[in-house]
Structure 1
Amino acid sequence: MLATTALAALPGVGPVGALGPDFLDADHLISSFGTYALLGIVIVVFVETGLLFPLLPGDSLLFTAGALVAQEVLDFPLWLLCLLIFLAAFLGDQTAFLIGRKLGPKVFSKPDSRFFKQAYIDQTYRYFDRYGGRTIIVARFVPIVRTYAPVAAGVGNMRYRHFVSFNVIGALLWGVGVTLLGYALGTIPFVKDNIEALLVVVVLISVLPVVWELWRARRRERDPRYDEPHERAEVEKEAFE
């Protein structure tokens, strides 16, 4: 694996797994998919955005995929990658919205587990309180929040027309935008000559927001402003109408 090789070559540094589980390493995931890399990338994007599994390398996966296409390490066309990522991101949020709408409060009343924490829901409502319906767009760039924002919109019965509009914009800016950024930087001579080291940096940068958000959630445990149904209802009234 490119990133693993580069990191292992640095003095005093262990394998890339030391940064976290293998599923947080975008390069490891893409390498493990082999000839099914395109399908694997699309599935990961859909799972993270649509099936309530927040701890996946969304940003770094998109950036890395774009860079590897530019390097011709991945042999499928950029337009196909962007199209399928957009569809996966869009359909993922649509699925999460329907889960929230169909299951309602049951989704948010489940007990804490390894990947689900009530603090994540409080954090999501903080974003809705701050950005309103635009949170569906903003959340695309925030680990954890991008997983639960569409579910919260479904639970709170956000107008479907508004949700779809925000979803299309978010899927384009995040899914296509980050992928194109990786592709554009991947054609720069300096990047081409140092792609392995730069992928390590991408992994580090993408993991840091996850660590930060988890630390904030643990530090606050539950946010008393948003952990009661009536308080969430007030946020929904302002953000979802």
Structure 2
Amino acid sequence: MSIESFISQYGLAAIFLGAAFEGETSVVTGGLLAHQHLLPLVGSAVAAVTGSFFADQLFFFAGRHYRDTKRVRRIAEKPAFAKALETLDRHPTIFILSFRFLYGLRTISPIAIGTSHIPARTFVMLNAISALVWGVVFTAIGYVFGDGLIELVDKVMPKQKLAGVAILVVVAALAIAGVRYWRRRHASRTGASQPRANAAAASTTDGSGRTPV
């Protein structure tokens, strides 16, 4: 089976799963492949929209019905979870419409929303609107800027254009994964240092909360 045939057969499923669990890289890649006429443009956008929508509905369901499980409680201890709930309390509609565009909050936010007072019907409606905009926008980015990316690949690998596109996508995905890994480590270190700071502050006060003299 050729690479072209493989993409044609499994590409839309890959975009669906990528939109659900990876993010923008998969969706932009779908637009790029549509630009190369390896996938249908509308089909790529639909796969991106539905993948994102169903994944966030699944995460919302986990927060709503499994909030007492060990895994969800562990997620709820992360600083991003508290940040998501705080933003949700201030601007519920805007936050639900925009969380998938916010770096570092996309996966954890629907779980946090599921533990809140937001009705499921409201989340379904706003989640559908947000997924539609998100999927169409990032598919369009890959499609519209396909000329520039293909021109870049053509200069580097003129005889292996498709392989060059694949390498470009892998490099981009690894770079994004590296940034996310660094941000998670930074957040975990920040969260770990806070209890130590609180303990140090407490050790300088007496039982009444006053600093001893």
Please indicate the TM-score interval, normalised by the length of the shorter structure.
0.5 to 0.7
| Structure with max Cα Rg | 2
The change in CA–CA distance for 1:209 and 1:82 in structure 2 (over 3 A counts) is same
Q: What amino acid does structure 2 have at the position aligned with 1:60?
A: T
For residue 189 of structure 2, what is the aligned residue in structure 1? 219
For residue 3 of structure 1, what is the aligned residue in structure 2? none
For residue 124 of structure 1, what is the aligned residue in structure 2? 84
Provide the C-alpha distance between the structure 2 equivalents of 1:67 and 1:191, rounded to a whole number of angstroms: 8
Mapped contact 1:82–1:179 kept (Cα < 8 A): yes
**TM-score (normalised: structure 1):** 0.60
**TM-score (normalised: structure 2):** 0.67
Name the stretch that deviates more: 60-69 or 143-152.
143-152
For residue 201 of structure 2, what is the aligned residue in structure 1? none
Alpha-carbon deviations, 1:208-233, whole Å to 9, x = none? 65245314412322678xxxxxxxxx
Say which of 162, 165, 188 aligns to 2:122. 162
Aligned length, in residue pairs = 177
Say which of 102, 106, 111 aligns to 1:142. 102
For residue 193 of structure 1, what is the aligned residue in structure 2? 151
Structure 2 portions without partners, runs of 5+: 1-5, 154-163, 196-213
Deviation at residue 165 of structure 1 after TM alignment? 2.9
Deviation at residue 103 of structure 1 after TM alignment? 1.5
Alpha-carbon deviations, 1:34-63, whole Å to 9, x = none? 8412212212323x2xxxxxxx3x111111
For residue 180 of structure 2, what is the aligned residue in structure 1? 210
Provide the C-alpha distance between the structure 2 equivalents of 1:62 and 1:43, rounded to a whole number of angstroms: 10
Alpha-carbon deviations, 1:159-192, whole Å to 9, x = none? 2233123202220222221111111100x3x332
Mapped contact 2:34–2:40 kept (Cα < 8 A): yes
For residue 31 of structure 2, what is the aligned residue in structure 1? 66
For residue 43 of structure 1, what is the aligned residue in structure 2? 17
Q: Which has the higher contact order (CA 8 A, sep 6+)?
A: 1
For residue 236 of structure 1, what is the aligned residue in structure 2? none
Identical-residue share of aligned pairs (%):
27
Deviation at residue 67 of structure 1 after TM alignment? 1.0
The change in CA–CA distance for 1:62 and 1:107 in structure 2 (over 3 A counts) is farther
Provide the C-alpha distance between the structure 1 equivalents of 2:67 and 2:83, rounded to a whole number of angstroms: 18
Provide the C-alpha distance between the structure 2 equivalents of 1:213 and 1:139, rounded to a whole number of angstroms: 17
Provide the C-alpha distance between the structure 2 equivalents of 1:156 and 1:107, rounded to a whole number of angstroms: 18
Structure 1 portions without partners, runs of 5+: 1-31, 49-55, 225-241
Provide the C-alpha distance between the structure 2 equivalents of 1:125 and 1:76, rounded to a whole number of angstroms: 39
Deviation at residue 79 of structure 1 after TM alignment? 0.3
